[in-house]
Structure 1
């Protein structure tokens, strides 16, 4: 296999696992079906980048493309704020903190009421679901 497939040959451990599977009675080389839809994160930009790589060298292998592209999770940031918005939030937080310093026991009574309860429910996608492909030279994606 190594002389024919070269670096694309499966590892010895993989071949050993396949032999064991066939000895146990498996007759198909196809993957077993997996639950849920396949995880796909393709965007027009990624498709265009890969197309450019392939058009530059039509003999490029999947491993060579994988060396140029990496799948990463977007960096979670609460919100992408400008410097002015950050300054404004800081000053408002300091103003709200002054009454707490003056009377910490009665501070919450000013803000917490028992009339109604509002709960915002939001389920963000998991880290695995939010992964996306990025080129080695492109910056790490951010997600607000």
Structure 2
């Protein structure tokens, strides 16, 4: 369906007094996966609310430079800052320019890239960050006072779950194949339910001690004793 037809439906439902979400639901019910994005619905709903009656794009004379005019750059930048997960297609539909021009503005003019979220063990609260800063400053003071003695006596501890069986990764399962051969197959496996928690102590010379605690048990039933030095 042409984009003008979608806009006509949005305008018709707008004039019926439907909300943005109701219009989106109606479009999804009728057009399914080909339905315009919520960003497009919101944009044209706002246009009609401001008094616009035409569903056609305004004339954009001249070369592609018009598409990269300052107003388009600003509009695209505002859209991305409002929703950083927007797809290029959704931005193109909202602004009314091609996906190629949107990509050019995002990458070449705004210098933006779309990256996957980086995994971190946990998100620190302001209190966590403050405690780490204070502890680090105290350790640095002790280190400057006597670096050799500090490193000799400083012990770090961490915990991690170890599964009884961990399936190989996709990278580990790679095999050499001859021309014409199909990719090898393997049954999907998951990490075993059985696991133990390993508590590891180490200093500047290496690992000092490792304690294992089975799932379901506590330190009260299986204690952890550090070796004597």
Select the structure of larger CA radius of gyration. Answer: 2
- Larger relative contact order (C-alpha < 8 A, sep ≥ 6)? 1
Please tell me the TM-score bracket, short chain as reference.
0.3 to 0.5
TM-score for both structures, normalised by structure 1: 0.33
